[in-house]
């Protein structure tokens, strides 16, 4: 089984030999994947959040509401395109395209599968690969923020400018933590090539501990659990997704950097956000979840990692990570800006630095294989990190009983407004009553009592 799997792993030498039509087909496939993932991603998010909130979600346009996103896109295409009077017209026009191009370009170095045969040509299911492919992914992620910042600045309005500045501050904060997480992957895999990193997470990984070999999963999400947790958190912050969607916080900035955009330009910003979410899910799958390799126990089947089947495992992992993005949006409230920045600089960054230092020190210990050292330390460290992040900061207060709640109310068992907020009697009604029954009013009795 191992020989079959290893024979399917592409190397850098396998790239650069395809005919032009095959390269063009791969480019079109990557671009179509980004667009289709956006259409289905918006529908998927609305359906999942609707299920979480006990409501149906889109279910009218097309089967199961699948065509709702397409209808919304066509609607935005025919809407009036409004240009703010104080906007910088050139920068205002090109800002959304920068974000889209950067998000789609990152898919060019993501491996969708192993070596396959397409019309007689043996080629990898990947547009291209370079020795520093992961640095290219980081560059595309960083350059995508330029579109947001320029769009906020070029709008000539206050709220978009604040949203763009927030996005740049988030990028600076979380790009460092994300880069340090990938350093652990470099140290373990020994390469920056995306296809090489997937090959290093082979299913035949065995840990050598004091001369004894034991089987272990090769995914870096398990071997390097703290790096995986920090990388995914940084990814959520990098893509401006909830609970880190501060650049477009509607409760504070109307719509943030997109406030002054309409029609197709607004659609391009939405496209860039969802393509970035899918792209970062694909990058996380490649770096930490074995890429296109099948999970256990599917690996017991000899043909699981050969042919076209690995594309199914790859897309399944990407959809699972996109579900986590949606789950976070439907569950967690938005952080305050000071909480968010403090979390990046004072929590994620120091923990990542300590973890990289520990990994470097483990290389000097003899008797264990490198994977054994990383696993023995990474899994407990990851569990400790999760417990630290989700440990309640306040001691839960005991819930008062029903009688205690009733006794604490100043006006009895039913909540009543204070006396000073009661509506005064109408002067007209008082005058009419005084005219009809003056004797009772003078006597101080209530005429409504018999």
Q: Is 227 exposed, middle or buried (0-12, 13-18, 19+ CB in 10 A)?
A: buried
Same domain, 59 and 192: yes
Q: Is residue 381 included in any domain, yes or no?
A: yes
Task: Tell me, yes or no, whether 397 lies in a domain.
Answer: no
Mean pLDDT of the chain: 78
| Residue where the block lists tokens 């290389």 | 363
User: What is the full DSSP assignment across 138-191?
Assistant: HHHHHHHHHHHHHHHHHTTSHHHHHHHHHHHHHHHHHHHHHHHHHHHHHHHHS-
Same domain assignment for residues 418 and 276: no
79 and 42 inside one domain: yes
pLDDT tens column, 310-336: 899 999 999 999 999 999 888 888 888
The verdict on 432 and 349 lying in the same domain is no
pLDDT at 211 > cutoff 80: no
**450: in domain:** no
What are the pLDDT digits (tens) for 270-307? 888 888 889 899 999 999 988 888 887 777 777 788 88
Write the burial class of residue 110 (CB in 10 Å: 0-12 exposed, 13-18 middle, 19+ buried): buried
Asked whether residue 449 is assigned to any structural domain, the reply reads no
Give a yes or no: residue 395 inside a domain: no
Residue 165 tokens read as 């500045």
> Do 274 and 408 fall within a single domain?
no
Query: Does one domain contain both 344 and 424?
Result: no
* Whether residues 166 and 255 fall in one domain: yes
Please check whether residues 38 and 111 belong to one and the same domain: yes
Domain of 38, in residue numbers:
2-390
Is 335 found in the same domain as 196?
yes
d(CA 76, CA 266): 8
Q: pLDDT per residue over 172-198, tens digit each?
A: 788 888 888 888 888 888 888 898 888
Q: Which residues of 39-64 are buried (b: 16+ CB within 10 A; e: fewer)?
A: bbbbbbbbbbbbeeeeeebbeeeeee
Residues 323 and 278 grouped into a single domain: yes
- Is there a single domain that holds both residue 359 and residue 439? no
Say if residue 51 is in the same domain as residue 107. Answer: yes
């Amino acid at each position: 089984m191992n020989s079959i799997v290893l024979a399917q792993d592409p190397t850098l030498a396998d790239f650069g030999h395809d005919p032009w039509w095959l390269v063009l087909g791969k480019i079109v496939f990557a671009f179509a994947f980004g667009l289709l993932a956006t259409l289905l991603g918006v529908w998927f998010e609305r359906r999942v959040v609707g299920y979480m909130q006990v409501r149906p979600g889109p279910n009218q346009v097309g089967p199961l509401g699948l065509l709702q996103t397409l209808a919304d896109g066509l609607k935005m295409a025919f809407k009036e395109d409004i240009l703010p009077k104080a906007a910088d017209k050139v920068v205002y026009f090109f800002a959304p395209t920068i974000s889209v191009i950067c998000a789609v370009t990152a898919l060019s170095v993501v491996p969708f599968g192993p070596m396959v045969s397409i019309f007689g040509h043996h080629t990898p299911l990947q547009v291209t690969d370079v020795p520093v492919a992961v640095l290219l992914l980081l560059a595309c992620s960083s350059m995508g923020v330029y579109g947001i910042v320029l769009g906020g600045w070029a709008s000539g309005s206050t709220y978009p400018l604040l949203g763009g500045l927030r996005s740049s501050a988030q990028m600076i904060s979380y790009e460092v933590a994300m880069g340090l997480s990938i350093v652990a992957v470099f140290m373990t895999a020994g390469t920056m090539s995306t296809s090489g990193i997937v090959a290093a997470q082979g299913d035949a990984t065995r840990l050598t501990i004091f001369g004894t070999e034991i089987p272990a999963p090769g995914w870096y999400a398990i071997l390097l659990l703290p790096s995986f947790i920090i990388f995914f958190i940084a990814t959520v912050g990098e893509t401006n997704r909830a609970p880190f969607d501060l650049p477009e916080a509607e409760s504070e900035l109307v719509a943030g950097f997109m406030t002054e955009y309409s029609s197709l330009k607004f659609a391009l910003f939405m496209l860039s956000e969802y393509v970035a979410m899918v792209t970062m899910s694909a990058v996380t799958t490649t770096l930490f979840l074995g890429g296109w390799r099948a999970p256990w126990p599917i690996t017991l089947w000899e043909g699981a990692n050969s042919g076209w089947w690995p594309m199914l495992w790859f897309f399944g992992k990407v959809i699972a990570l996109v579900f986590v993005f949606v789950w976070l949006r439907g569950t967690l409230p938005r952080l305050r800006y000071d909480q968010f920045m403090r979390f990046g600089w004072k929590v994620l960054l120091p923990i990542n630095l300590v973890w990289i230092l520990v990994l470097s020190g483990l290389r000097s210990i003899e008797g264990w294989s490198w994977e054994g050292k990383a696993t023995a330390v990474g899994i407990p460290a990851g569990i400790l990190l999760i417990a630290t992040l989700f440990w309640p900061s306040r001691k839960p207060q005991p819930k008062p009983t029903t009688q205690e709640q009733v006794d604490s109310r100043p006006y009895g068992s039913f909540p009543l407004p204070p006396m000073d907020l009661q509506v005064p009697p109408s002067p007209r009604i008082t005058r009419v009553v005084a005219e009809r029954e003056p004797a009772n009013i003078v006597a101080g009795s209530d005429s409504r009592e018999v």
